[in-house]
A and B are shown apart, each in its own frame.
Chain A
């Protein structure tokens, strides 16, 4: 997830990113941002659309992770309609891990 400072919703996106740091993949113990699971968070009026993926299709923890994203955003954006668009295009890959995510997984 990249946030451009010229984006009119950059402040909201930073707030969303901050909230999503608290959503942990229960198996990998790394948050969804550093895992690179969140592709985009789009703001449109009262709607927030999260485009995200999972580390594997039909991930056994998939429901817990998407629920976590939904709950975390509802907490910081009360009253907004949150929609999660799950995609496997592009599929998640190791290159999507942030530097912090790689460190947390024990990678150099």
Chain B
């Protein structure tokens, strides 16, 4: 073999436990949504809704993203993962932290349980950031994608620290500002800093790779990075020091939205030049998730100017259940079967006939998952808009079906046994 490093996939314990835990968290999230459907018609600052949001953001979104990132960092940086041990520490601290935090929020234990949970999440974010920094530090080439991965990791750490301070503030108040105002800053650092920038960076690498498309317009990604970070940074500084005001919020939203437009233009450019013409169901999931992100952003002026918390809850539902969930539901079956396939068959390839990665899961279940996901998003949003608990409960029942199909399919992949095709 020549001396070009094509990289070794990180050991499975740096990746698969995250997928398995996130899958269970997603199922738990849908159950919580079902049993607490009524809370989606109340103010967003209530214990059960806080538990639901943190299950979605940490147990589901962050957990699966950590797993995928440990697998993809070597692809993005063209080097091996810095430390699989740190990746494992990341899982232990995140899992324990999420469990403590969810119990604490659900029962509103504002004491050591919530603070310990928050501390573990901060440790997990630290561990992840160390792996990101050191893996990208030894990158051969500079790339905007790498920049996004680093900035998103930094925003996650910032969000986790802010969250821990908020948890301490609930028990031992020390913030001179309103808790709810700082909560908005914490939430947006997580959404526009961690999730948006990580998804922007990773999708800018993966979507062209999956479609066999190319875009020479790398500058669009640089503008995306600048606009997204500038908008978020101004929002946080202004919001903390001068208070959140409607007119200025719109300016920051426009900046972040400009960053999103630049990113989507880059993806569209790669999509237009794609070699692979067939669009599979996983890519359709991604497309619907982008629509949800667009709808959430268009909703911000309504949240700012309209009274009541229904629009804020709709905004959260579109982001967590529409955008983040949509992209994960699709991308799971673009990554996980390949990770598991590699572990079982990479040494057998060419020797004997082996199954293909797509044969490790059920495509029929993914099709149904996609259909039910669309129905669940539409009904959930409709239920929130018309303030109808019964519709939200029906939507949540469909979410339980979506998560059950997802659990079955992910477990089918994770529990796959090596077999030779005769």
Would you give the 0/1 interface string for A52-89, flagging 1 where the beta carbon is closer than 8 Å to chain B?
Answer: 00111111111111111111100100000001111110
Would you give the 0/1 interface string for B348-379, flagging 1 where the beta carbon is closer than 8 Å to chain A?
Answer: 11110000111000000000000000000000
Task: Select the stretch in B89-97, B185-193, B250-258, B273-281 that faces chain A.
Answer: B273-281
Q: Assess the B350–A67 pair: CB atoms within 8 A.
A: yes
Contact of A23 with B349 at beta-carbon distance under 8 Å, contacts A55-B212, A86-B6 already known = yes
Q: Which of B275, B342, B351 contacts A61 (CB 8 A)?
A: B342
Contact of A86 with B4 at beta-carbon distance under 8 Å, contacts A24-B356, A68-B350 already known = yes
Contact of A26 with B350 at beta-carbon distance under 8 Å, contacts A84-B2, A86-B2 already known = no
Q: Assess the B7–A62 pair: CB atoms within 8 A.
A: yes
Taking the nearest CB of chain B, how far is it from the CB of A97, in angstroms? 7
CA distance A63 to B8 in the complex (A): 7
- A22 touches B (CB below 8 Å): yes
Q: Which of B4, B7, B276, B351 contacts A75 (CB 8 A)?
A: B351
Q: Assess the A85–B2 pair: CB atoms within 8 A.
A: yes
The secondary-structure label for the interface of chain B is: loop
Contact of A63 with B276 at beta-carbon distance under 8 Å, contacts A27-B357, A84-B2 already known = no
Q: Assess the A94–B78 pair: CB atoms within 8 A.
A: no
CA distance A55 to B6 in the complex (A): 12
CA distance A12 to B2 in the complex (A): 22
User: Which of chain B's residues have a CB closer than 8 A to the CB of A88?
Assistant: 4
The total of chain B residues at the interface (CB under 8 A) is 36
User: Which of chain A's residues have a CB closer than 8 A to the CB of B210?
Assistant: 27
Would you give the 0/1 interface string for B308-320, flagging 1 where the beta carbon is closer than 8 Å to chain A?
Answer: 0000000000000
Q: Assess the B346–A67 pair: CB atoms within 8 A.
A: yes
Taking the nearest CB of chain B, how far is it from the CB of A50, in angstroms? 10
Q: Which of B2, B275, B356 contacts A105 (CB 8 A)?
A: B275
CA distance A83 to B1 in the complex (A): 6
CA distance A102 to B374 in the complex (A): 33
The total of chain A residues at the interface (CB under 8 A) is 39
Contact of A66 with B6 at beta-carbon distance under 8 Å, contacts A26-B338, A60-B338, A60-B342 already known = yes
Taking the nearest CB of chain B, how far is it from the CB of A56, in angstroms? 6
- B345 touches A (CB below 8 Å): yes
Taking the nearest CB of chain B, how far is it from the CB of A45, in angstroms? 19
- B124 touches A (CB below 8 Å): no
Q: Assess the A54–B277 pair: CB atoms within 8 A.
A: no
- B9 touches A (CB below 8 Å): yes
Q: Assess the B4–A71 pair: CB atoms within 8 A.
A: no
Residue of B nearest to A53 (CB): B4
CA distance A57 to B4 in the complex (A): 9
- B386 touches A (CB below 8 Å): no
Q: Which of B2, B6, B209 contacts A62 (CB 8 A)?
A: B6
CB neighbors of A among B33-75 (8 A): 71-72, 74-75
- A5 touches B (CB below 8 Å): no
User: Which of chain B's residues have a CB closer than 8 A to the CB of A56?
Assistant: 75, 209
CA distance A47 to B262 in the complex (A): 50
CA distance A100 to B4 in the complex (A): 29
- B347 touches A (CB below 8 Å): yes
User: Which of chain B's residues have a CB closer than 8 A to the CB of A70?
Assistant: 350
Q: Assess the A68–B338 pair: CB atoms within 8 A.
A: no
User: Which of chain A's residues have a CB closer than 8 A to the CB of B71?
Assistant: 60
Q: Which of B2, B79, B342 contacts A64 (CB 8 A)?
A: B342
CA distance A51 to B74 in the complex (A): 23
User: Which of chain B's residues have a CB closer than 8 A to the CB of A26?
Assistant: 338, 341, 345, 349, 356-357
CB neighbors of A among B270-327 (8 A): 275-278
Beyond A24-B356, A61-B342, A71-B348, 19 additional contacts (C-beta under 8 Å) are: A26-B338, A26-B345, A26-B356, A28-B212, A55-B209, A57-B6, A58-B6, A58-B7, A60-B339, A61-B338, A63-B7, A63-B342, A64-B342, A64-B346, A64-B349, A66-B1, A75-B350, A102-B275, A105-B275
**Residues of B participating in the A interface, judged by any CB pair closer than 8 Å:** 1-2, 4-9, 71-72, 74-75, 77-79, 209-210, 212, 275-278, 338-339, 341-342, 345-351, 356-358
